Amino acid sequence: MEMIPTPRTLLEQMADMQFDPATDARLQELMDRNNFGELDSNEKAELERYAMLNQRMSMVRGQAMLILGRKFE
């Protein structure tokens, strides 16, 4: 794997990546309603997309934090 120099500020932004408050609130609402079996098929698909995005974000955050020498909070 070829190493590409990456500015520290970009790595810090990647390590701090998270959903904006409105998206986070929507995700929480979907998860809560999913626990009670209250989602329609569109909402289930929406929740799945958020879950996949969250997984990808976690991987990027983890890699950036590893490079920066940070620990997960």
Confidence of residue 35 (pLDDT cuts 50, 70, 90): very high
- Mean pLDDT calculated for residue range 7-33: 95
CA separation for the pair 64, 62 (Å, rounded): 5
pLDDT, the chain, mean: 93
Residue 52 has pLDDT above 90, yes or no: yes
Label residue 70 by pLDDT band (50, 70, 90).
confident
DSSP state of 1: -
- Alpha-carbon gap, residue 26 to 51, rounded angstroms: 12
pLDDT at 65: 93
Q: Give the H/E segment covering residue 18.
A: none
Taking the C-alpha atoms of residue 16 and residue 10, their distance in angstroms, rounded to an integer, is 10
Q: What is the pLDDT of residue 3?
A: 75
**Chain-centre distance of CA 54, in angstroms?**
3
